[in-house]
Amino acid sequence: MATSTHTDETLPAGHRYLDAAATAPLRPEAFEAMLNVLRSGQANASSVHSAGHRARAVIEHARAEVAQACGVRPTEVIFTSGGTEANNLAVIGLALAHSRGRHVVTSSIEHPSVLESCNYLGRVHGYEVTQVDVDQMAMVDVRRVEAALRDDTALVTIGLANGEVGSVQPVPELMAVAASNGVWCHTDAVQAAASLPASLATGAWPGANVHAMSIASHKFGGPQGAGALLVRDGIPLEPVLHGGGQERGLRSGTENVAAIAGFAAAVTAAVRDIGTRALALAASRDEFVSQVLATVPGAALTGHPTERLPGHASFVIRGVSGESMLVALDAAGIAASSGSACAAGKDEPSPVLLAMGVTAEVAQTSIRFTLHEPLTPAMRERVVTVLAREAARAAR
């Protein structure tokens, strides 16, 4: 297993970083790839001189690496500034390009970049949007998606896994139903693709019924500010950004060559051992979840107990503010999260937990731990001790 340039090393001595779902530690392969580009001298990949050609070669090599890792052709990789832009391009671009109609199906627990893109389609372009409900484990039922389909449905967009509670969706089954009805299918794989083998190759997971998939560099241990939308050849896409016509006219803007190189290096390194790493993380996660539930008063796991991301453990702890718990954990040298980093700083209960049927009061007690490497027994004990202490203190 490749050694990571762990975020732990940038924290004070003894601190541990358990917030990989927000941003994974930078991999040394990504760091070196970016340094190589920066040392060679900055150039615009659209320029016709030799320096521009070198920059273009870096981008096309990175495109081939990402394509190979994700089971697509290089022509099916569109580089973006990250997962949010990739989701915007997918939802808006696919819906506007499909002549089938003005109806989109999504779920109530999607990332804001998906939900807000759907809202934009409704507000500006007159689309109807159906949000399919989820169950208490944040799972989307295939029958609900099938029932939501109409003759004018252009797009179904369901995330491969939820970043807040870790539930992994039955996307192959969901998309098979949609695709068989002539509907284009997009999945936000930003959280899932970095920790589970995710490929659009025939016979792979999530498989050939997915027409477009979003991924982001910083979840793989690459730099922030880079990502990609994978779109199958032959599927038209309306651009969201207009300008100089980069990325085959589908995403204008001067490419961030160094970030793209780091992104590809991180993806290549991550997929090399992604299966064995997932098994190790899942085993560590299960031990941690069991100890929390057995030791911490009022703790309950959120999300599906088994169909979840391998390094993801999320809880609500009745009677304890999630924010106050984060402060206590940070004081003990543990970096965690109270949910999605995209919603940080908002004094509101998580929409994902509310959609699962959790009350607003309990939803505000949420806490999330996402691992980039298995926990040592000592670190597991340290985290559980803080959680139990704060829960007991709140119960007095």
The CA-based angle 270-253-36, given to 5 degrees, is 45
How far apart are alpha carbons 326 and 225 in whole angstroms? 26
Provide the 10 A C-beta neighbour count for residue 126. 8
The identity of residue 117, as a single letter, is S
How far apart are alpha carbons 106 and 360 in whole angstroms? 23
Q: 């006219």: which residue's tokens?
A: 249
Q: CA–CA distance from 396 to each of 292, 301, 306, 329 (Å)?
A: 19, 23, 33, 19
Provide the 10 A C-beta neighbour count for residue 136. 12
Identify whether the C-beta of residue 334 lies closer than 8 Å to the C-beta of residue 386.
yes
CA dihedral sign, ordered 116, 170, 363, 333: negative
DSSP assignments along 186-213, one per residue: EEE-TTTTTTS--B-STTSSB-TT-SEE
CA dihedral sign, ordered 52, 55, 59, 60: positive
Identify whether the C-beta of residue 338 lies closer than 8 Å to the C-beta of residue 368.
yes
Q: CA–CA distance from 357 to each of 135, 159, 339, 350, 353 (Å)?
A: 8, 19, 16, 11, 7
Residues in the chain: 396
Q: 């607003």: which residue's tokens?
A: 360
Task: Tell me the two tokens of residue 71.
Answer: 């089971």
Chain-centre distance of CA 82, in angstroms? 10
Q: H or E segment at 263?
A: helix 257-272
Q: Which of 70, 118, 185, 342 is catalytic?
A: 342
Identify whether the C-beta of residue 30 lies closer than 8 Å to the C-beta of residue 221.
yes
Q: 């790493």: which residue's tokens?
A: 277
Q: Is 118 among the catalytic positions?
A: no
Q: Which residues pair with 317 in a beta bridge?
A: 299
List residues with catalytic annotation: 342
